[in-house]
Chain A
Amino acid sequence: MDVELLARIQFAVTIAFHYIYPPLSIGLGLCLLIMESMWLATKKERYREMTQFWVKIFGLIFAIGVVTGIVMEFEFGTNWAAYSRYVGDVFGSALAAEGIFAFFLESGFLAILLFGWNKVGPKMHWFSTLMVCLGSHFSAVWIVIANSWQQTPAGYHIVETPYGPRAEITDFWAMVFNPSSIDRLTHTIIGCWIAGAFLLISVGAYYLLKKREEAFAKTTLKIGLSVGLVACLLQGLSGSISAEGVAENQPTKLAAMEGHYAENAPADMYLFGWVDESQQEVHGIKVKGMLSWLIYRDTEAPVVGLNAFPEEDHPPVNLTFQFYHIMIAIGGVLIAISLVGCIGWWRGWVFTYRPFLWVLVFAVLLPQLGNQFGWFTAEVGRQPWVVWGLMRTSEGLSEVVTAQHVVTSLILFTIIYALLFALFIFLLNHKIKVGPGKHDEMDEGYGHKARSLVDQIPNTEN
């Protein structure tokens, strides 16, 4: 295999694995803020217990997010040195801003969140939760700005230097608010909220099925369903606005998403299908003129297709098509689940109807898959460019890194990340099995103050 493909696979593996965790921290951060605010407002112990339980899970998720994130910070340099030299002037500032404005905030206040229960008062603890929640959102802001600049570069000019051409900033705010920043940021953050909400839903449903922690489970489920429903509905709206932006800024990506080849004709939208790239045909079930309608509110409006562009500028069409359609399908299912869940809550059957509770337990996987496939659509659809219209992915590689190097690191990353994932699931499962308000055996004898508070709460398990 050639080094370009290997480097791309390595980037895909490391970023996809990393991206399991930040959406959970962002979504869970918001849910933690809701729970702790409820504790402050009502002073009911069960909200505090609930917050403490979720803070522990948050800590576990955050730790793996951090270590896999450091890899990302340096992978531009290790594998994409030519890219780094070309864009450092623009792209680097967003990464540095992420460190200064987001990571310090997040990791500093996380210490209070995790270890500060007996060191600070409830209001300061709540404030720390707010800061962690904000910090995690800020990190999304800066990294999505950086990535959006790759999709729709703005606020730069190309300068010849003695060491070759490179992009330099001309207008910082135009770079920050490049044409796709806001759309993509909104879509990403709502995706994160959904991921967090469905983790709550899943754990709540699991306890209800096991007939334990009933009060905790019901409240968790209610918070999860509320955040989940609002976020899923907003995501539908955000998705359709994003598609309009893609149509305007990245027409080849939009055309690939629906397998639309004809140079300038009304475009259909597929429920599912298969793109025959050699015949330039899509086999599947479609809604005629729907893509035209979504973008121009007119089923007859022509949409620019792939054939309007030279073939060397086409992304992989069927791959983009499939990723996009899987994302859309998952989005639809998530809207349905959260709607049905909320109706069940209103009618009262959702806490006892076991088949649906099982659906909720496993629904935690859907936002994860949706987020992943959404990013695959965005990144594969951007090909063959690493910076849209400026630099091809093949031109961005490190000149001195050989295929052998990348094979070595790729194998190691795969093994270590598989191990890390297994450990994560094992520990997460353990924490959930132990449950809220309990302490693992290793805590015996330590932390008298915290224990005595917890011991006052009646044990709901018996």
Chain B
Amino acid sequence: MDLNIIWFILVGVLFTGYAILDGFDFGVGALHLFHKKDEHRRISLNAIGPVWDGNEVWLVTGGGALFAAFPRVYASVFSGFYLAFILLLFSLIFRAIAIDFRSKMPMKWWRNLWDICFSVGSILSPFLIGVAMGNIVRGIPLDETGNYAGGLLPLLNPYAILLGITAVALFMMHGAIYLHMKTEGEMQQNVRRWITPCIIFFAVCYLVFTVATLTYVPHVKESLQGHPIFLVLVALTTLVIANIPREISKGRDGRAFICSVLSMALLMTLFALEMFPYMVYSSPDIKNSLDAYNAASSQKTLKIMLTIALIGMPLVIAYTVSIYWIFRGKVKLESTSY
């Protein structure tokens, strides 16, 4: 295994960490407006209150790692998807300040306003990320420098939109399971009723998306046919997701959440395997595609960065685990809560 593959995996790990962690924040946000009582909405916010900020750092670090390890991908994707990306930034801004500002004032209109911002931001952000991923898999026209000049509208093709919706559905499922784990009483009863519809919504989206991939994205189909391991991964993902309702009905919330986390890790692995070695697929001109080799930094930099990651990641995992441990258990509103 060479350094390029290691970095392909490490960037993948960072974005998977982001999807798993900020994923339930997005899901909690997407479901937020379904809570009718102010107290329930506060609990919903405080369920992610201590952790959403740290979860978002996975995106920032993933972006930094992409910049350092694969600067050509960083440059092409963010300049190529310019307006879509600016919209994503605004949507992340509104989501974050909504969490922070909402409970700082008692007025009803103030809280409703931020509840809406929180929810819209939490739906729009994963949708846009999904659309971007859809385009990267399906292929966008790149020139020899690796530039995409196709504008915003061609990015909003049905296939990419489908992946956008699938991402929102996945996070809603994940968020509902997380919220179920963090709540009790009446609110937990409400959340429990949402879990099955969320799983079904996601399963349908994912099925349609898979059929669409096999029909419209021949290069992914080819790589799937070449590697039977994909079938194993798909079967595992299905089993893990099917196990979620079982765990919920037995009252094992923690296990249900672990299953949800596992399913996301499996889906991201599947995505990475479908893509490898490409990072941005160029269509029609395949030779302009950006991959883990032609888009990478020098070997020396990849090595230095690996040292940084080997020192940093254990620390990061240690803080993350400690914070989740300290804030484990059901949410209780306190004077310092949002």
Contacts and interface: CB of A to CB of B under 8 A. Distances in A.
A88 B49 CA distance: 34
Q: Which of A81, A163, A166, A441 counts the most chain B CB atoms within 10 A?
A: A81
Contacts of B71: 84-85, 87-89, 92, 166
Contacts of A66: 53, 56, 96
A100 B313 contact: yes
B96 A169 contact: no
Interface stretch (B80-88, B194-202, B224-232): B80-88
B305 A107 contact: no
A88 B320 CA distance: 28
B10 to A, nearest CB: 10
B214 interface: no
B60 A73 contact: yes
A112 B324 CA distance: 11
B238 interface: no
B336 interface: yes
A19 interface: no
B79 interface: yes
B335 interface: yes
B211 interface: no
B326 A103 contact: no
A294 interface: no
A189 B101 CA distance: 28
B105 to A, nearest CB: 7
A78 B106 CA distance: 39
Interface string A133-168: 000000000000000000000000001001110101
A446 B334 contact: yes
A158 to B, nearest CB: 12
Nearest to B55: A107
B337 A108 contact: no
B149 A70 contact: no
Q: Which of B101, B294, B333 counts the most chain A CB atoms within 10 A?
A: B101
Interface stretch (A23-31, A297-305, A306-314, A408-416): A408-416
A109 interface: yes
Q: Which of B57, B70, B145, B322 counts the most chain A CB atoms within 10 A?
A: B57
Nearest to A71: B89
Contacts of A63: 53, 96-97, 99-100
Interface stretch (B61-69, B159-167, B264-272): B61-69
A64 interface: yes
A398 interface: yes
Contact of B300 (A52, A76, A162, A170): A170
Nearest to A95: B64
Nearest to B62: A99
B280 to A, nearest CB: 13
B38 to A, nearest CB: 9
Interface string A64-104: 10111111011011110110110111111101111111011
B97 A85 contact: no
Interface of B is mostly: helix
B148 A118 contact: no
A77 B72 contact: no
A461 interface: no
A111 B327 contact: yes
A401 interface: yes
Contacts of A81: 75-76, 78-79, 147
Interface in A431-462: 431, 439-443, 446-447, 449-451, 454
Q: Which of B104, B149, B308 counts the most chain A CB atoms within 10 A?
A: B104
Interface in B162-185: none
B319 interface: yes
Contacts of A105: 315, 319
B105 A88 contact: no
Contacts of A52: 336
B304 interface: yes
B337 A446 contact: yes
A148 to B, nearest CB: 17
B243 interface: no
Contacts of B56: 66, 70, 107
A233 B337 CA distance: 39
A216 B46 CA distance: 30
Contacts of A13: none
Interface string A157-200: 00100111010111010000000000000000000000000000
A25 B70 CA distance: 31
A45 to B, nearest CB: 15
B89 A108 contact: no
Q: Which of B54, B75, B103, B106 counts the most chain A CB atoms within 10 A?
A: B75
Contacts of B103: 442
Nearest to B54: A107
Contacts of A443: 335
B50 A115 contact: yes
A430 interface: yes
A408 B333 CA distance: 41
A447 B67 contact: no
A446 B335 contact: yes
Interface in B275-327: 294, 297-298, 300-301, 304-305, 308-309, 312-313, 315-316, 319-320, 322-323, 326-327
Given A400-B80, A441-B106, A114 B50 contact: yes
A420 interface: yes
Contacts of A119: 326-327
A443 B57 CA distance: 29
B60 A77 contact: no
Contacts of A423: 97, 101
A95 B67 contact: yes
Contacts of A2: none
B160 to A, nearest CB: 18
Q: Which of B77, B149, B298 counts the most chain A CB atoms within 10 A?
A: B298
B74 interface: yes
B52 to A, nearest CB: 9
Nearest to A446: B333
Contact of A115 (B49, B75, B89): B49
A447 B85 contact: no
A427 B110 CA distance: 12
Interface of B: 46, 49-51, 53-54, 56-57, 59-61, 63-65, 67-72, 74-80, 82-83, 85-86, 89-90, 92-93, 96-97, 99-101, 103-106, 144-149, 294, 297-298, 300-301, 304-305, 308-309, 312-313, 315-316, 319-320, 322-323, 326-327, 333-337
Given A95-B64, A107-B57, A169-B304, 12 more contacts: A81-B76, A100-B308, A100-B312, A103-B60, A104-B61, A111-B326, A112-B323, A162-B294, A399-B79, A400-B148, A447-B335, A450-B335
24 contacts: A77-B63, A77-B79, A82-B75, A84-B75, A85-B145, A88-B70, A89-B71, A91-B67, A92-B64, A93-B68, A99-B60, A99-B61, A100-B64, A100-B308, A103-B61, A105-B315, A107-B57, A111-B54, A111-B323, A111-B327, A116-B50, A163-B72, A408-B86, A409-B82
